[in-house]
Structure 1
Amino acid sequence: MSAMMLTFVALLFGIATAQCPDYLDYSTVKHYPYSGGSHNISYQRPDPACRTFNLSLLNDVVIFDVMRAVPDLDLFRLFINAYPNTLDTAVRWKGYATDSPDEELTFLVTGDIDAMWLRDSSNQMHSYLPLLTANSSADSLASLFRGVINLQARYLLTSPYCNAFQPPIESGIAPANNPSASQDVVFPTYDNTSVFECKYELDSLAAFLQISADYYNATGDINFFAKHHWIETINHVYQVFDSLYFASTYDTDGQVKQPDYSFTRMSNRATETLANDGLGNPFKGGIGLFRSAFRPSDDATIYQYLIPANMMLAHYLEATAPILLALNASSSAITSAHMTQLAAVIRQGIEEHGIVTVDGKQVYAYEVDGYGSANIMDDANIPSLLSAPLIGYLDANDEVYQNTRSLLLSDRNPYFMQGPVISAIGGPHNGPGYAWPMASIVRILTSDNDTEITEQLAMILSSTNELGLIHESINASNQTDYTRPWFSWANGLFGQMILELCDRKPHVLAQSFQ
């Protein structure tokens, strides 16, 4: 066995330490052994005894397979650190519902924030979709998926307009403090013992459909969806869609309508609250699009028809409809048909109102209002315009998408950051100058160009400040200036990308990045 292999095995199965450190602290410093490459990347996995969920398939098979496919020491080390990160650090609690002993629950945090986001938790699990198979065992990856779906269903039944949630009462974990939300004025009201933050984001509703479709397509486990509260939640969410479809700022007489949702926060950041005393900027109803008060970055929208979120919703309405058909109930079949019809309405709305002409070419706008106003930009957070093929809305070769992509990856996009460390899309959440590695990963996953993929991989490697984790954002000119050392969704997405490249572009991964 080679020295590299011996070191690697020791890392995976090392002797447990007496006490587990706080990973928020652990992730900010380097740990031996280093990768041995030019970036000298730290080892960042917790001790095996400190990992929050053990998946033997990942540790015993997948990592060894990738080691054979990725000879570059730095790139392989980044994969080792990043891909298991959600399982290693973010499964804060797993158990069962008090009133239903066989209802699995999984409380999955984002990383350094002790709350569960609908969007993040769906995407954190999505990273492990290549490893998901049908399995009834309570210690399986399938059980983790079921637990996330069940807990999301509980949250949506009580607070469908909210985006982030507290631990379930069964966990015994105390609710996290969110001082930013303590003075929020939100309609509809919510219970802050179960809600961490209540920013209405359309993609959060779509995320429940996403993880449901992911689980069903990978396992074929239709019996799961007939249990507990899934059907009830789908019907409840669909009622929300019905009310949102007819939403607008003004009624037919030009009077301001009672909003379906409003949000006001005391803040010195415009992105943290909605304009017009919580109503947001005016939007015109009945155009086939759904309002989103906030973006997937948790920043307020400028124009409330967020096109990437509508793209995501359209696709996952289509992807979830077959589950309802497979349940073989007449009411479910009706809902399935309605979901497919609604997806078609949204697609038509995007084509009619979400496409604009810039420099003589048709491109997708990031946001529109139905009155003719459009916001030409993109944000790194998924769903984004750049991620449209990744979220299943269209093919990457689509002409309008390619026009949009060219614009987004240029200085025509006000949030495309360029620097010697990394050049990638950012967003107002962390502001000008800060590029998000997540956007570089999405760029790779939506590209067939070997040179582009290689360049982006090299930039990602140069952006970790030798810590060996995918950060939230990085100063494009200074790798030591970054936000959030521990952001498990981005880490999982990086690992997902490496697995995808192993199948699609193995010759790219076989290169040296030294």
Structure 2
Amino acid sequence: MDATTRVDVDELLPAALVDDLAEQVTQRAGERVGRIVARALRETVERTPTVRPDGSVFVVTGDIPAMWLRDSTAQWQTYLLLLDRAPALTDVIAGVLRTQFASIRHDAYANAFNDGPTGRCHEPGDNSDDPWLWERKYEVDSLAFPVLLAHRLRRAAGRDDLLGPDAHPAMRRIVDLWRLEQDHEGRSPYRFVRPTDERSETLDRDGLGTPVAVTGMTWSGFRPSDDACEYGYNVPANLFAARALDHVATFAREVFDDAGLAADAEALAAELRAAVEAHGVVEHPGHGRVWAYEVDGLGSTLLADDANMPSLLSLPLLGACRADDPLYVATRGLVLSDTNPWFHRGTAATGIGSPHTPDRYVWPIALCVQALTSGDEEEAVRVLRLVADCDDDTGHVHEGFHVDDPSRWTREWFSWADSTFCELALSLLGKRVTDLD
């Protein structure tokens, strides 16, 4: 491995392993699916990471030269399933965690970072001039995903020495920030203003966001799509945060010897769950008791689900609920129906999209999540073949494509989508990241 630039993909991910996995997938789902799996497994290892001299690892999200805390977790957690045959990947994933936790310590409100203080950014007019930040959209899930990756790496590797020096203070910071943001109106220092006419790209009221009441949930400025929340309490993000806090408590007790952090994490997790039960569950005339996607505590409710994780559909994959939980089953029925404004039916595909992409675009990530949470291997094969057939002969899994015309798509290279496709393919071989929970 080159300690200053790129990795040696053959050293980390032996060609024989990739060929074996691709062949097994081919036998189950067809040659086209197997080819995409072989390319995607290698490409994420070969093209996304840069290993720094201290062993930390910076990961680009694909065709955007920045590292998202959420995306980098999703990109690399699939490789946890391969550590028994590719043990050298352990140090790379540990290096990703070191960068994630160092980034959280640097600015826990930021969602995407540069590889150093380069000054590159999505929008120079944002109200932040920190040269380390690509973007400073505050999203609850950006803090939860690194904790999930740390938990699953610990389970996969069976080691407590992989987190690095920033993990403990970063987890303390996460708990403190989520508690502070339970009273966003009264206590939060966070503001986000972008010079734009697009409401999805900035926050109302000079960057404070739409009004919310104190409910016990923790506030988020933006969704996992990087679009502004319509209402400040994102329900799947809160349920995911509660599960991440369970992991923080375990780390605090078993690794950090910090009883105070463990108690604080457990108390906050209980508060978030109780608040979601009180404010985030609604009665729908056609689907019964379901989780809303967003609420404000003032009576406003958004019944929907977005393609990006954490979504309501993805909650079992995050350990936030069981797939047979009656509330999840009812919610699943709603979000996979026309009641969800971002659910699209077309001649090429049917599934969940996002207002982050053009109308009637479905996301392969959401299709794969739908299959992964179904528990049905035939559904997994169907979705793998569908996504492969809708790649527009590029060999890549795109961000989104039009449900009637797959030649219309977004993101030439989106590593998160590649990895989720591989995660679904590996589930056919009995390999599931949820087994690490």
State whether TM-score is above 0.5.
yes
Which residue of structure 2 aligns with residue 229 of structure 1? 166
| Cα offset, 1:88, TM superposition | 2.3
| Cα offset, 1:52, TM superposition | 6.0
Separation in 2, partners of 1:89, 1:53: 9
* 2:112 matches 1:164: yes
**What aligned pairs does 1:315-330 form with structure 2 within 5 A after superposition?**
315-327=243-255, 329=257
Give ranges in structure 2 of 5+ residues lacking alignment: 1-5, 433-437
Contact 1:380 1:427 in 2 (8 A): yes
Give ranges in structure 1 of 5+ residues lacking alignment: 1-49, 98-103, 170-174, 250-256, 506-514
Contact 2:180 2:187 in 1 (8 A): no
Contact 1:52 1:89 in 2 (8 A): no
Separation in 2, partners of 1:51, 1:96: 12
Letter in 2 for 1:182: P
| Cα offset, 1:260, TM superposition | 2.8
| Cα offset, 1:291, TM superposition | 0.4
Pick aligned residue for 2:407 from 456, 477, 480: 480
Q: Deviation string for 1:8-51 (max 9, x for gaps)?
A: xxxxxxxxxxxxxxxxxxxxxxxxxxxxxxxxxxxxxxxxxx97
* 2:397 matches 1:470: yes
Which residue of structure 1 aligns with residue 306 of structure 2? 379
Separation in 1, partners of 2:85, 2:101: 21
Separation in 1, partners of 2:280, 2:194: 29
* 2:119 matches 1:181: no
Which residue of structure 2 aligns with residue 339 of structure 1? 265
**What aligned pairs does 1:431-510 form with structure 2 within 5 A after superposition?**
431-450=358-377, 452-503=379-430
Partner-residue secondary structure (3-state), 1:503:
coil
Separation in 2, partners of 1:434, 1:176: 33
Pick aligned residue for 2:53 from 96, 106, 119: 96
Change (3 A) 1:474 1:386: same
Letter in 1 for 2:425: I
Separation in 1, partners of 2:344, 2:382: 15
Q: Deviation string for 1:92-131 (max 9, x for gaps)?
A: x20234xxxxxx2101000101011111111111121212
Pick aligned residue for 1:310 from 238, 245, 256: 238
Separation in 2, partners of 1:454, 1:500: 10
Separation in 2, partners of 1:453, 1:219: 27
**What aligned pairs does 1:199-238 form with structure 2 within 5 A after superposition?**
199-225=137-163, 227-238=164-175
Pick aligned residue for 1:293 from 221, 225, 228: 221
* TM-score normalized by the length of structure 1: 0.78
Q: What is the root-mean-square deviation of aligned Cα atoms in Å?
A: 2.2
Q: Deviation string for 1:170-193 (max 9, x for gaps)?
A: xxxxx3633x421112xxxx5531
| Cα offset, 1:455, TM superposition | 3.6
| Cα offset, 1:233, TM superposition | 1.8
Change (3 A) 1:176 1:261: closer
Change (3 A) 1:326 1:450: closer
Which residue of structure 2 aligns with residue 112 of structure 1? 63
Which residue of structure 2 aligns with residue 77 of structure 1? 35
Which residue of structure 2 aligns with residue 31 of structure 1? none
Partner-residue secondary structure (3-state), 1:224:
coil
Letter in 2 for 1:158: H
Q: Which has the higher helix share?
A: 2
Separation in 1, partners of 2:41, 2:361: 23
Which residue of structure 1 aligns with residue 207 of structure 2? 278
Separation in 2, partners of 1:498, 1:334: 41
* TM-score normalized by the length of structure 2: 0.91
* 2:123 matches 1:194: no
Contact 2:392 2:406 in 1 (8 A): yes
**What aligned pairs does 1:334-373 form with structure 2 within 5 A after superposition?**
334-360=260-286, 361-373=288-300
Separation in 1, partners of 2:97, 2:377: 37
| Cα offset, 1:57, TM superposition | 4.6
Letter in 1 for 2:26: V
Identity of aligned residues (%): 34
Partner-residue secondary structure (3-state), 2:369:
helix
Contact 1:306 1:368 in 2 (8 A): yes
